[in-house]
Amino acid sequence: MRYFIAGFSVLAVTLFLKTIGDHINAATVSLALLLNVLFIATRWGSLPALLTSMVAMLCFNFFFLPPFGTFTIAATDNWIALIAFLITAVTAGQLSARARQRAEEAEIGKREIERLYSELRDAFERASHAEALRQSEKLKSALLDAVTHDLRTPLTSIKASITTLLDEAHGPTGDAPPVVLDPESRVEMMEVINEESDRLTRFVGGLIELAKIEAGELQLRRRWSAADEIVSEALLRAAPITRQHRIELNIERELPVLRVDERAVSEVVYTLIDNAAKYSPHGSIIQISAQRAGTDLIEMAVEDEGQGIPVDLRQRVFEKFFRAIRDGDVSTKLPSGTGMGLAIAKGIVEAHKGKIWIDSARKSTGTRVVFTLPIGDEEVLDGSIHSAVTVERND
Amino acid sequence: MTEQPRILIVDDEPQLTRVLRTGLKSRGYEVRAAADGGAGFNSFMDWQPDLVITDLAMPNVDGLELCRRLRAVSQVPIIVLSAKGEEKTKVEALDLGADDFVTKPFGMDELLARIRAALRRASATPSNDDTQAIFSSGDFQVNLDSHHILLRGKQIHLTPKEFDLLTYFIKHPGKVLTHRTLLAAVWGGNYVDQTEYLRVFVGNLRKKIEPDAAAPRYILTEPWIGYRFDPGE
């Protein structure tokens, strides 16, 4: 079909040229026919172009080179013109056909590359999604292990105590020797049950607090509070656990009041004091300080004389359920906590748009946990809030 | 064994050691406690207890390392306290020679039953005596020379491998035997991962010795871990 159209196109061009006039210039005719060859070559490739060249050569000879209407040629220069036309037509036709083929190949190549690229991108997306999922599953199961350990340990003590008390109450059974508990042991068992229930309660409370922080649902009840009051409240709560330590207070005079959730910030200070007391020797000093840091920040710190936290663990201790003592291979016989205290403290401080970090203690090898709090974030400049301060402080 | 059996507790959880100490003392055991594997091993060497109860996850020297060190010097019965999620470590401890395990949280009666069984085994089994040609345990009587096993006086027909496996079970009554331990003992070290062999042979043994193979009373399955053999009366 394309060969037929190719041949026919030459006849159409010839007819058109003939109708324009018999005395049309031979050069114009050859250029018009050449154009026709090029058109066919770019459209259908080399073989139809070759056919077009041959038909064009015959038409050129028959209709436009004298004597007209025959395939004979009178003048030598017309022979040369005809041969030149044939060579030009075939060469140009083949070249443009080849160019067309190259363009087509390039187009196919480009499409193939695009297809591969998009396939690769999809595969990569799928892989990174799967990897993210795997990581998150891994993290979840590590967290679950940590949580179940902290729930199971007190439960084990409670269960063992209760079953001992029950065995005594029920009397001997089977081949088991009778249980003989003296009054002190009985009280001890009950004490363990009481203390471990409290531990479970604290742990569950911590979990809830953490969940709230992570969900961004920590409700801060901000009011204007004084740093020394916050510290006093924390110290009062920590009194039973700090009896064996000496507390040094170093609170700068005339600190501005802070617009914070007093209970939450006091919880942070309490956690830091609790850690300090737990991980530093009896009789050592725990120093609590509060001072201005720049124009709109207050910096508070709790420093102990314990064995300190290695630099590479100082970030990680704020991760939830991370315990330097159990997980960080800090060799010690000190008790390990729940791994939630510092994570909660961080959550509270950050909810106030503050920062918390760990420094080396200034005087000893111990730990110094520092946190900053903005005095009252952007609202501090608002006049109406200022007047509210005055009212509250005057209460 | 002394009048009052001595038990060493190794656990880093002070409240639990407190309870176990009081609970075991009230049943007439003499008890000492250590907070990690290192202290536990030293205490064992000093005091030579009749049984060791150890936690697995502990700072410094953990329960696994303690099992390893203890087995290098002694055949003292070891009971491992483990938690769900610690299955791999638990199996490792049993492979290292621990005798039994109790999963937290546990009742005191369960722990005591395991302690009694372990102490009974320790006093009954002449340690590593493979020379005796005829011996019995519970309902079973084994004759190594004639390759016969009698169950309540009736001979059981066994293939050579079944005989080896059952003999190994009878020699270790009440002890938790991991898949690896059984495979290594009966088939050899190259077969320790071929648990399906074990499953097939245990299935066959059960058909031959259990009154009801679907509810076994002699060869008990410890899910994911191995088997425990109860020789009966």
Nearest to A179 among B15, B27, B59 (CB): B27
Indicate if the pLDDT at residue B135 is higher than 90: no
* Whole-angstrom distance, CA of residue A115 vs CA of residue B166: 64
A173-195: pLDDT as tens digits: 766 777 888 899 999 999 999 99
Dihedral angle, C-alpha B69, B73, B79, B82, nearest 10 °? 10
Nearest to A148 among B14, B26, B85 (CB): B85
Instruction: For residue B189, give every residue at least 6 positions away whose Cβ sits within 8 Å of its Cβ, in sequence order, or none.
Output: none
Distance from CA of A390 to the nearest CA of B (A): 51
| B147 lies within 8 A of chain A by CB | no
Residue B116 pLDDT class (50, 70, 90 cuts): very high
* Whole-angstrom distance, CA of residue A59 vs CA of residue A17: 11
* Whole-angstrom distance, CA of residue A340 vs CA of residue A328: 15
**Is pLDDT larger for residue A12 or for residue A21?**
A12
Residue B57: closest C-alpha in chain A:
A326
The mean of the pLDDT values for chain A is: 84
A307-356: pLDDT as tens digits: 888 888 898 889 887 776 655 544 444 555 677 889 999 999 999 999 99
* pTM of the complete model beyond 0.95: no
ipTM of the complex: 0.75
Contact (Cβ atoms closer than 8 angstroms) between residue A356 and residue A349: yes
Structure tokens at A159: 């269960």
Q: How many inter-chain contacts (A to B, CB under 8 Å) are there?
A: 95
Indicate if the pLDDT at residue A285 is higher than 90: yes
Indicate if the pLDDT at residue B50 is higher than 70: yes
Say yes or no for a CB contact (<8 Å) between B105 and A160.
yes
* Whole-angstrom distance, CA of residue B5 vs CA of residue B48: 11
B-chain residues near A203 (CB < 8 A): none
Average pLDDT over residues A353-361: 91
Average pLDDT over residues B78-89: 84
DSSP letter (8 states) at residue A330: -
From residue A52, give the alpha-carbon distance in Å to each of A69, A149, A352, B180: 20, 88, 84, 85
B-chain residues near A200 (CB < 8 A): none
Nearest to B59 among A188, A196, A326 (CB): A326
* pLDDT attached to residue B1: 47
Give me the count of residues in chain A.
Answer: 395
Say yes or no for a CB contact (<8 Å) between B116 and A326.
no
Q: Which of these, A53, A122, A151, A145, lies nearest to A93 by C-alpha position?
A: A53
Which of B7, B9, B12, B22 best tests the A interface by mutation, with the highest count of A CBs <10 A?
A: B22
| B133 lies within 8 A of chain A by CB | no
Write the secondary structure of A256-298 as one string of H (helix), E (strand) and C (coil): CCEEECHHHHHHHHHHHHHHHHHCCCCCCEEEEEEEECCCCEE
Residue A192: closest C-alpha in chain B:
B15
A323-335: pLDDT as tens digits: 766 555 444 445 5
Say yes or no for a CB contact (<8 Å) between A331 and B104.
no
φ, ψ at B69 (rounded to 5°):
-65, -40
State the greatest distance between any 2 C-alpha atoms of chain B, in Å, as a whole number.
54
